[in-house]
Structure 1
Amino acid sequence: MSNTPLAVQSQESHYKAVIFDIGGVVMRSPFIAIAEYEKAHGLPVDYINTSIVGYGSKGAWQKFERGEVDILSFYPAFGRELSDTVHGNECYRRYCEKKGIPCPPLPEKLNIDGRELFGAMMRESGTYDPHIREAILRIREAGKHRVIALTNNFAKIEVPPEELKFLGWDAGVVPTHLTDLFDDFCDSSTLGMRKPEPEFYLTACRRNNIKPSEAIFLDDIGL
């Protein structure tokens, strides 16, 4: 007879998969580089993030994650959008109002280099969280759950060779040492959809023959 409590046994039998986000969970977060950029340029905390999110599904970042634009077109569009202080300031005012905090002084003018910022983000996110990687290996070894990646990523993007080193992608845009950790790797650029679009999550479940209620999802951003 098992010594595991019945409640735990029931819970263990309920879940069939563990789904991991990549950046900020399996790998270091690219948003660390954004925070450093904001600090270095005297921008309020989360100013760039709120600007990116404020473009909804139509921003350069969102299109790039869905594989709709190439990287050399993405760079200037990304920089141009983030340099738009009318948009950025309005997004940040709404952000402060929602959080109930005073709005600090906001920039009158910005000139953000999209390539430089994106490069810093990608180089920052190139290192594993050793604890999460070890957890994945143990789950795979136990063989009781499928281990799935669900990530806004860039596998479909063709990158000129001269850009790979700059971005820290010497081993490839999405290296095999990463994809090999998982039973299935659901990449936004390949599937043409991204978080937080509900269909992205549902597609991952269908691909792995599970119900959403049968999966645990680990992400660094709450929805």
Structure 2
Amino acid sequence: MKYKAIIWDFGGVITSSPFESFNIFEKQNNLPKDLIRTVNSENSDSNAWAKFESNQISLDEFDKLFLEEVQKKGYNVKGREVVKLLSGSVRPNMVEFLKELKGRYKLGCITNNIRPLEKNLEENSNNNESKNAMLLFDHIIESSKVGIRKPNPEIYKISYRALKVDPEECIYLDDLGINLKPARSLGMTTIKVIDPEETIRTVKELLELDNVN
């Protein structure tokens, strides 16, 4: 297979996963492990998180709606507290790999994200390292800007069409299996990102690269 494009998720792939920050917060506040992730995964097309990532509601509305969802489980966590946990640290090895591939392959990014609504949130979720990493992509799709989010198949179609490639010519990387399924159904080769170094080796094998200079 002659691949022409590699499309990446951002959080959990280029940066560390926000789930790690969620778990630390939960432990510090005597909350059940994976409470935040569980709330965000229930009614995943219509819950507060889905609406916020699709830019359908404001930060104030998310703050209230998320709290209501958590309270149904007997706990109190405001949406604003969750937003502050979203900024992961950039993985240097993944960024270096992006730099090595740039110019040889088309590089796309599909990210479910939120629109910065306050200065402190922007500083927290869009630090300089993340911004610099974003500059390496040829095309970026942000759920908060297009109004749809993964795993909606349409968001993947927007990406490969913008890159002017067929889905069969794409490798797609994500840390969530639910986001890989639509890409695979469309014909993309998919990789679940667990360990960054292993991911890099797998991509190199698919591209038949012994060493990328």
TM range, smaller chain: 0.7 to 0.9
Whether 2:75 is the aligned partner of 1:110: answer yes
Q: 1:179-217: per-residue Cα shift (whole Å, max 9, x none)? A: 211000111111111111111111111111111111101
Query: Which of the residues 166, 174, 188 maps onto 1:219?
Result: 174
Q: 1:137-190: per-residue Cα shift (whole Å, max 9, x none)? A: 0000xx221011111012xx251335444x35465xx96423211000111111
Matched with 2:104 is: 144
Matched with 1:3 is: none
SS in 2 for 1:122: coil
Deviation at 1:60, TM superposition (A): 1.0
Distance 1:217 1:170, change over 3 A: closer
SS in 2 for 1:149: strand
Return the TM-score normalized by structure 2. Answer: 0.75
Matched with 2:21 is: 33
Distance 1:170 1:73, change over 3 A: farther
Return the TM-score normalized by structure 1. Answer: 0.72
Q: 1:3-54: per-residue Cα shift (whole Å, max 9, x none)? A: xxxxxxxx3xx11100110000001111111111232344443332122111
Query: Which of the residues 119, 144, 165 maps onto 1:161?
Result: 119
Q: 1:18 touches 1:146 (CA, 8 Å); kept in 2? A: yes
Q: Higher relative contact order at CA 8 Å, sep ≥6: structure 1 or structure 2? A: 1
Which amino acid counterpart does residue 146 of structure 2 have in structure 1? Answer: L
Percent of aligned pairs sharing the same letter: 31
Matched with 2:86 is: 122
Distance 1:149 1:65, change over 3 A: same
Q: Structure 2, unaligned stretches of length 5 or more?
A: 179-213
Distance in 2 separating the partners of 1:164 and 1:144: 32
SS in 2 for 1:131: helix
Distance in 2 separating the partners of 1:144 and 1:111: 49
Which amino acid counterpart does residue 59 of structure 1 have in structure 2? Answer: N
Matched with 1:89 is: none
Whether 2:57 is the aligned partner of 1:69: answer yes
Q: Which is higher, the Rg of structure 1 or of structure 2? A: 1
